[in-house]
Copies of this chain bind each other. A is one copy, B any other.
Amino acid sequence: MTFPVVGMVGGGQLARMTHEAGIPLGIRFKLLSDTPQDSAAQVVGDVVVGDYRDLDTLREFARGCDVITFDHEHVPTEHLRALEADGIPVRPGPDALVHAQDKGVMRAKLDAIGVPCPRHRMVTDPQDVAAFAAEGEGFPVVLKTVRGGYDGKGVWVVDSVEEAAEPFKAGVPVLAEEKVDFVRELAANVVRSPHGQAVAYPVVESRQVNGVCDTVIAPAPDLDEALALKAEEMALNIAKELGVVGHLAVELFQTRDGRILVNELAMRPHNSGHWSMDGAITSQFANHVRAVLDLPLGDPRPRAKWTVMVNVLGGDYPDMYSAYLHCMARDPQLKIHMYGKDVKPGRKVGHVNTYGDDLDDVLERARHAAGYLRGTITE
C-alpha cells in the first residue's frame, strides 16, 4: 500500500495524541523527539532521538517522510525553508507558521487583514511602555516577548514603569497590549487543508488558571449565535489569509461590550480542542493528520450536547495510579487521557473529558476527576 508517512517534530502529548489518531487512519508515523522518554516517544514505533534545532538532524529525519508537521512552534524558520527547498512538504509551512512563532508578525498581519485585536504596538523600553499606557487607558499593560512564550511564560501584566523593566531583560523584542476587560475567553478551532477545504469546530469557552488552560466547555455556553458564527468565520478567514495547513486555534477575548478580539494563535492541535477526542465526530488530531496529508476532512460537529475538558496538572504526590483507579470506579463514563509524563507540580500530565446533556453534571464530573488526580480533592 502507498499509505504515507507523517513526520512529526516534537515528542510531547500533542504528538502522542496525533499518533493515536493516525493509527486507525492507517498512517505511518515517524517521530523526532528530544529524548526516548518523551510522551509520544513512549508509544510511537519509529522514533528518531535528536535536536530539532540542528538542520542536519532535521534533514536526516525528513528522509522517507511524505510530509513534516509539528507538536510545537519552535523549529527555526530557516530550517523549515531548507526542508521545503529539499522538496519535503512542511505543513503548516514557514510563511504561515511565523505568525504563531512571532507575536509581532502575527499582530501586524491581523491588523492588515482587518481582524480585531487588543490595542497594541511594539515597545522599546519601560518609558515607551508608559507612553503606550498613556495613549490608552493607562496601566495595567500586558507585555509579551514576541517569541518563546507559552502557558503564561513570556507574558507580564505590569502596573507601572518600574515593573515594565523585566520583560526587556531577555533582549527579545517586546509587544505591548492593552489589558482587555473581558468577560471570558473563547477559542475558535478550525482545520484547513492545502487544497483549501476547511472545517470549523464549535466555538468553546476556555477558562485559564494562572495563565494555564484549566477547563474547556464545548460549545461555549450562552454564546450568542451571531457572535459564534462571527468567531468561526474569523478563524476560517485567518486560516485562509495566513495560508495555514492543519489545525489552527484562535484564542479570543469576549469583551464586556460584546466584541471578540484575538488573543493568540496556535498552528497545531491545541488544548482548547482536546474535548473533540470524545466530544466531536472527528477529533482535532484526526483532522490535523487528514489536513497535512491533503485528505478530505472529517465532520467537526459535536456528538454530545455538552463536552467538558479539564486539564490534569501534577500535584505534590508523584504517583497518580491509585487516584486514576478511583476515578474510573467513580465514573464509568469518564474519558481519561494520560500523557505518560512524570508528575511535577503544575505540569500538564493529562486531561479528562466528560460529556452529556446536563452541563452542571458534566462539569462536576470532569472537575472532580481532574482534582482527584491532582490531589486537591480527596473524597
Q: Which residues of A contact B (CB under 8 A)?
A: 1-4, 16-17, 19-20, 23-26, 28-29, 41-45, 47, 277, 281-282, 290, 295-299, 303, 318-321, 324-325, 328-329, 332-333, 335-340, 342-343, 350
For A335, the closest partner residue in chain B by CB is B24
Bound form: Cα–Cα A343–B336 in Å: 35
Ordered nearest first, which 8 A-B pairs have the shortest CB separation? Answer: A26-B338, A296-B329, A296-B328, A299-B332, A24-B337, A20-B23, A299-B333, A2-B321
Minimum Cβ distance to chain B for residue A38 (Å): 11
For A314, the closest partner residue in chain B by CB is B1
Bound form: Cα–Cα A178–B24 in Å: 39
Chain copies in complex = 2
- B residues less than 8 Å from A335 (CB atoms): 24
**B342 and A1: CB pair below 8 A?**
yes
**CB<8 Å pairs between A and B, sample of 6:** A19-B43, A25-B336, A26-B324, A45-B45, A290-B328, A297-B332
- B residues less than 8 Å from A2 (CB atoms): 319, 321
**B342 and A295: CB pair below 8 A?**
no
Bound form: Cα–Cα A340–B332 in Å: 31
**B295 and A325: CB pair below 8 A?**
yes
**B25 and A338: CB pair below 8 A?**
yes
For A4, the closest partner residue in chain B by CB is B321
- B residues less than 8 Å from A333 (CB atoms): 281-282, 298-299
- B residues less than 8 Å from A329 (CB atoms): 296
- B residues less than 8 Å from A298 (CB atoms): 328, 332-333
**A43 and B24: CB pair below 8 A?**
no
Q: Which of B3, B19, B277, B328 contacts A340 (CB 8 A)?
A: B3
**A339 and B290: CB pair below 8 A?**
no
**B26 and A340: CB pair below 8 A?**
yes
- B residues less than 8 Å from A337 (CB atoms): 24
Minimum Cβ distance to chain B for residue A279 (Å): 11
**A343 and B299: CB pair below 8 A?**
no
**B28 and A340: CB pair below 8 A?**
yes
**B319 and A1: CB pair below 8 A?**
yes
Bound form: Cα–Cα A337–B23 in Å: 8
**B339 and A26: CB pair below 8 A?**
yes
Bound form: Cα–Cα A282–B45 in Å: 25
Minimum Cβ distance to chain B for residue A233 (Å): 20
Bound form: Cα–Cα A181–B19 in Å: 46
For A326, the closest partner residue in chain B by CB is B296
- B residues less than 8 Å from A299 (CB atoms): 332-333
Bound form: Cα–Cα A82–B25 in Å: 38
